[in-house]
A and B are shown apart, each in its own frame.
Chain A
Amino acid sequence: DGGITQSPKYLFRKEGQNVTLSCEQNLNHDAMYWYRQDPGQGLRLIYYSQIVNDFQKGDIAEGYSVSREKKESFPLTVTSAQKNPTAFYLCASSRGEVRTDTQYFGPGTRLTVL
Chain B
Amino acid sequence: AQKVTQAQTEISVVEKEDVTLDCVYETRDTTYYLFWYKQPPSGELVFLIRRNSFDEQNEISGRYSWNFQKSTSSFNFTITASQVVDSAVYFCALSEPPSNDYKLSFGAGTTVTVRA
**A and B: interacting chains:** yes
Interface locus among B11-19, B60-68, B94-102: B94-102
List residues of chain B with CB within 8 A of the CB of A48. 102-103
Q: Does B50 contact A (CB under 8 A)?
A: yes
Question: Does residue A31 face the partner (Cβ distance < 8 Å to B)?
Answer: yes
Residues of A in contact, count (CB < 8 Å): 26
- Given contacts A99-B97, A102-B47, whether A58 and B103 have CB atoms under 8 Å apart is yes
A106 touches B44 (CB 8 A): yes
Q: Which residues of B contact A90 (CB under 8 A)?
A: 43-45
Q: How many residues of B contact A (CB 8 A)?
A: 26
Assuming A42-B4, A42-B109, A45-B103, is B42 touching A102 (CB within 8 A)?
Answer: no
Looking at A42, A59, A102, A106, the one whose CB has the most chain B CB atoms below 10 A away is: A42
Kindly supply a per-residue 1/0 record for chain A positions 63-77, scoring 1 wherever the CB is within 8 Å of any chain B CB and 0 otherwise: 000000000000000
Using CB atoms and an 8 Å cutoff, list the residues of chain A in contact with chain B: 31, 33, 40-45, 48, 50, 56, 58-59, 88, 90, 92, 99-100, 102-108, 110
* Bound CA span A83–B47, Å: 31
In the complex, chain B residues 101-116 whose Cβ is within 8 Å of any chain A Cβ? 101-109
Q: Cβ of A58: which chain B residues have Cβ within 8 Å of it? A: 103
Beyond A48-B102, A58-B103, A105-B45, 8 additional pairs, beta carbon < 8 A? A42-B91, A42-B105, A42-B106, A43-B106, A45-B104, A99-B95, A100-B97, A102-B47
